[in-house]
């Protein structure tokens, strides 16, 4: 008998991410009505906004029909339209929860959210039972499944109707025991731009687990019309875009302008289409160059964009595109230092070779070390922080380029007075190439990333570690 008049409510289960819902069912002499799935109300109670794309109905003529246990590579919203079922679920995802079991009876007043990788099974308790489920991927013969046997003694599911008296397919009877069941790996994460300094830092941070993939331009052409079918994108959970055209001055030339727009806007648009179509999280790295540098206070995430040059304009366009993706992180940073050639290494080399440089003293900001930036990106993904824009730079007192150069000289045992501060105009006077305009203030407000639980390290402390390490790793 379906219970009428329940309040909509969600209950956690021993299986991580799986939620059991009570559904309000309204009835009278004519029958009953319910909202079987209501996105706004249910998301407010903790249901992931899982974006279903297919609805399936399994009609079961008799009591005792038993199906499962199947773990598919998609999330499911399971409910009953008529009748009753005994539901059983076994976590087959990699990790400490592997093998965790949960059972519950479902009728029209109860539903359950089953995360990807949790094996699902049921047994009908009444004739003419209609079992329904929404899934957030289309069925595909190319999808990878995992299974566990209905009668496995390890999981010990207390089926109400003995399995030797139940109606079960030969295929379901042949599923392996838990000891032999294939664990379901996490969704894949793809790092685009893996050959750059941030890409290399992300590899060091995320590692080489099978579900982490790294792609250079040679591996993945974002301009390829067949990009949408290049991989089974529904198997991915996130794309981290560490690729960009960062040659700021070259972007002011005719050829460089085309390359900057292609990489920083058109390429980003291709990733945004992929992410939107496949419910992926898109992580996009932005820059202080989207601002004109005239603010008297640190720039906040919601400040209007006002880029000065082509590079900043293309990055601002990329930010606007990524902002349309439902699941996105725009990570805005400045003055990135990683392995390979960079300002800090150049200054250290000049100090060692006895060269006394003139360095710009009217551009102020904070260094950001690539390893710290990679850790911050991982934090956003791991904690599933609220989507949106996050500033992420080194913390501490802002400095000019000249002050940072002097500090590098000091930390490497040389006289910081050898660094001569000059204005931007003086530094570039007589240049025989295109020079991009630079923001004079690149200081970004870090309150939002800190509120999300990530504390950026002090930039000067990271500089000390970077120089002490000597191998380009700020740890």
**Rounded CA Rg of the chain:** 28
Here the tokens at position 300 are 């906040």
Here the tokens at position 467 are 């120089």
| Packing angle of the helix pair 401-411, 343-353 (nearest 10 deg) | 50
Here the tokens at position 37 are 């799935």
Burial label, 12 (beta-carbon count in 10 A; 0-12, 13-18, 19+): exposed
| Edge-to-edge strands, sheet with 129-135 | 9-12, 19-22, 110-114, 76-82, 129-135, 54-60
Four-residue CA torsion sign, 186, 318, 323, 224 = negative
Query: Would you state the torsion angle of the CA atoms of residues 174, 178, 179, 183, taken in this order, to the nearest 10 degrees?
Result: 110
Here the tokens at position 324 are 């349309």
Nearest CA to 217 out of 198, 194, 200, 246 is that of 194
Within 8 A by CB and 6+ apart from 166, the residues are 64, 65, 66, 123, 159
In the chain, the N- to C-terminal Cα span, in Å, equals 62
Query: Residues 144-147: contacts with CB within 8 Å, 24+ apart?
Result: 144/73, 144/235, 145/70, 145/71, 145/72, 145/73, 146/70, 146/71, 146/92, 146/117, 146/119, 146/181, 146/182, 146/183, 146/184, 147/69, 147/70, 147/71, 147/119, 147/175, 147/176, 147/181
Strand partners, 212: 189
Nearest CA to 333 out of 377, 274, 373 is that of 373
Strand partners, 383: none
**Residues marked as catalytic:** 70, 133
């Amino acid at each position: 008998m379906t219970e009428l008049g329940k309040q909509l409510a969600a209950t956690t289960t021993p299986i991580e991410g799986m939620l059991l819902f009570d559904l309000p069912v309204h009835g009278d002499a004519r029958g009953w009505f319910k909202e079987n799935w209501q996105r706004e109300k249910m998301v407010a109670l903790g249901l992931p906004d899982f974006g279903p794309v297919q609805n399936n109905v399994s009609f079961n003529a008799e009591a005792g029909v038993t199906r499962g246990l199947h773990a598919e590579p998609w999330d499911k919203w399971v409910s009953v339209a008529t009748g009753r079922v005994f539901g059983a679920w076994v976590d087959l995802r990699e990790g400490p929860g592997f093998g965790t079991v949960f059972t519950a009876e479902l009728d029209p007043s109860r539903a359950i959210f089953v995360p990807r990788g949790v094996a699902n099974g049921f047994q009908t308790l009444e004739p003419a039972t209609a079992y329904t489920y929404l899934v957030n991927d289309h069925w595909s013969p190319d999808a990878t499944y995992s299974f566990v046997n209905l009668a496995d003694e390890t999981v010990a599911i207390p089926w109400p109707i003995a399995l030797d008296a139940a109606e079960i397919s030969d295929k379901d009877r042949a599923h392996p025991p838990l000891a032999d069941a294939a664990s379901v790996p996490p969704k894949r994460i793809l790092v685009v731009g893996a050959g750059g300094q941030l890409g290399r830092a992300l590899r060091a941070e995320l590692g080489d687990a099978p579900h982490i993939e790294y792609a250079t331009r040679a591996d993945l052409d974002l301009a390829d019309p067949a990009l949408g079918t290049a991989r089974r994108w529904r198997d991915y959970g996130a794309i981290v875009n560490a690729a960009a055209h960062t040659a700021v001055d070259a972007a002011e030339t005719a050829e460089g302008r085309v390359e900057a727009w292609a990489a920083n806007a058109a390429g980003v648009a291709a990733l945004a289409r992929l992410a939107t179509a496949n419910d992926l999280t898109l992580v996009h790295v932005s820059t202080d160059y989207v601002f004109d540098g005239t603010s008297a206070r640190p720039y906040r995430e919601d400040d209007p964009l006002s880029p000065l040059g082509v590079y900043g304009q293309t990055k601002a366009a990329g930010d606007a595109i990524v902002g349309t993706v439902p699941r996105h992180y725009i990570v805005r940073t400045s003055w990135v230092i990683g392995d390979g050639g960079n300002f800090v290494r150049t200054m250290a080399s000049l100090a060692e070779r006895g060269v006394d440089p003139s360095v710009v003293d009217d551009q102020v900001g904070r260094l950001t070390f690539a390893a710290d930036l990679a850790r911050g990106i991982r934090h956003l993904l791991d904690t599933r922080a609220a989507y949106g824009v996050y500033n992420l730079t080194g913390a501490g007192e802002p400095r000019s380029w000249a002050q940072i150069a002097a500090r590098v000289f000091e930390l490497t045992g040389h006289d910081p007075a050898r660094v001569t501060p000059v204005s931007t105009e003086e530094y570039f006077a007589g240049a025989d190439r295109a020079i991009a305009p630079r923001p004079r203030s690149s200081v970004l407000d870090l309150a939002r990333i800190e509120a999300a639980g990530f504390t950026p390290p002090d930039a000067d402390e990271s500089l000390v570690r970077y120089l002490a390490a000597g191998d380009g790793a700020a740890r």
